[in-house]
């Protein structure tokens, strides 16, 4: 069997001055899997997701991403790790001082793609999330669902092998939320590994992918048990 694309081995995370947010986490994600990470608010979902791009560092245990050890990764290696990941943040982190197009092109600038190639890929990404006709708009002018799609476009523009989204449907009406989940499913169908944190019970009921449940910093996962 192929090596898992993400694996957590006895990972714990304690924030400075806080209690343990994650305790002894063991779980793996195979390449091409679609995984929902669920749990109540404060269960540790965001913390777990942030460990993968090394936004937060584990207090103990080892994490492997694409065969690379995150726990031993130096500060210099982190940017290159992140370039292979598509990240949709819980707080979106859109830049409102520039257009939709300029938000999506940012990952391309960071990796130094040519202007022509960048433009082509930004348009392709915007097309996939249905925002091509809004490329000149300011993100402020977009609806909540459109802003979330913009975040997704920025996450996929660099063609990541892993897509990680933290509560991408939290603030959306069901209709929009379904459309967003459908979008993730379509990326998964072309081979992208997808890991989504959500506490939306309905959503979990509707879909039938693997669900990893977090409770007070511990994994309750039937699939990997």
Partner 1 sequence: MNALIRHHLHSLRQSGVRFASAPFAALANMVVIGVVLALPLGMYLLVSNVQSLASSIPTEPQISVFLTPGAAKTDVAALENRLRAVEHVRSVRFVSREAALASLKRSPGMADVISTLRENPLPDAYVVTLGEGSAAAAERLESELKGVPGIAHVQVDSAWVRRIDALLSLGRSAVILLSALLSLALVAVTFNTIRLQILTQREEIEVSKLIGATDAYVRRPFFYWGGLLGASGGLCALLLVFLAQVLLNRNLSEFGNLYGVELRLQFLPVADAALFLAFAALLGWVGTYLSVSRHLSKIQPR
Q: What residues line the site for ligand ADP (CB under 6 A)?
A: 15, 18, 21, 39, 41-47
Which C-beta is closer to Mg ion: that of 104 or that of 214?
Answer: 214
Which C-beta is closer to ligand ADP: that of 46 or that of 148?
Answer: 46
Helix spans in 43-139 (H): 45-51, 78-83, 100-110, 115-128
Q: Which two tokens stand for residue 180?
A: 């967003």
Crossing angle of the two packed helices 100-110 and 115-128, in degrees rounded to 10: 130
Q: Which two tokens stand for residue 114?
A: 């040519």
If contact means CB under 5 to 8 A according to the sort of partner, which of partner 1, Mg ion, ligand ADP, none does residue 14 touch? none
- Nearest distance from residue 12's CB to ligand ADP, in Å? 12
- Nearest distance from residue 84's CB to partner 1, in Å? 8
Terminal-to-terminal C-alpha distance of the chain: 17
- Nearest distance from residue 198's CB to Mg ion, in Å? 10
Cα separation, 155 vs 136, whole angstroms: 19
- Nearest distance from residue 224's CB to partner 1, in Å? 28
Q: Which two tokens stand for residue 164?
A: 């990680």
Q: Which two tokens stand for residue 42?
A: 């404060």
Q: To which residue do tokens 């009406």 refer?
A: 173
If contact means CB under 5 to 8 A according to the sort of partner, which of partner 1, ligand ADP, Mg ion, none does residue 8 touch? none
Q: Classify burial at 123, counting beta carbons within 10 Å of its beta carbon; exposed 0-12, middle 13-18, buried 19 or more.
A: middle
Which C-beta is closer to partner 1: that of 23 or that of 90?
Answer: 90
Residues that bind partner 1 (CB under 8 A): 50, 53, 55-56, 75-76, 79-83, 87, 89, 93, 95, 97, 106-107, 109-114, 154, 158
Residue pair 120/165 in contact by the 8 Å Cβ criterion: no
If contact means CB under 5 to 8 A according to the sort of partner, which of Mg ion, ligand ADP, partner 1, none does residue 139 touch? none
If contact means CB under 5 to 8 A according to the sort of partner, which of partner 1, Mg ion, ligand ADP, none does residue 42 touch? ligand ADP
- Nearest distance from residue 16's CB to partner 1, in Å? 12
């Amino acid at each position: 069997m192929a090596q898992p694309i993400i694996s957590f081995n006895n990972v714990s995370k304690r924030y400075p001055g806080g209690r343990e947010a994650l305790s002894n986490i063991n779980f793996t994600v195979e390449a091409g899997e679609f995984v929902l990470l669920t749990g109540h608010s404060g269960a540790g979902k965001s913390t777990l997701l942030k460990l993968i791009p090394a936004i937060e560092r584990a207090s103990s245990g080892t994490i492997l991403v694409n065969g690379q050890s995150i726990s031993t990764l130096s500060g210099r290696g982190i940017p290159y790790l992140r370039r292979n990941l598509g990240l949709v943040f819980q707080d979106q982190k859109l830049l409102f001082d520039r257009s939709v197009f300029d938000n999506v092109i940012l990952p391309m600038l960071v990796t130094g793609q040519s202007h022509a190639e960048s433009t082509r890929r930004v348009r392709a990404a915007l097309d996939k999330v249905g925002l091509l006709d809004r490329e000149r708009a300011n993100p402020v002018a977009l609806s909540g669902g459109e802003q979330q799609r913009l975040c997704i476009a920025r996450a996929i523009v660099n063609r990541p092998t892993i897509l990680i989204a933290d509560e991408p449907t939290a603030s959306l009406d069901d209709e929009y939320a379904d459309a967003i989940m459908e979008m993730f499913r379509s990326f998964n169908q072309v081979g992208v590994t997808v890991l989504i944190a959500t506490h939306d019970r309905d959503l979990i009921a509707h879909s039938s992918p693997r669900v990893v449940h977090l409770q007070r910093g511990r994994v309750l996962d039937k699939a990997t048990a």
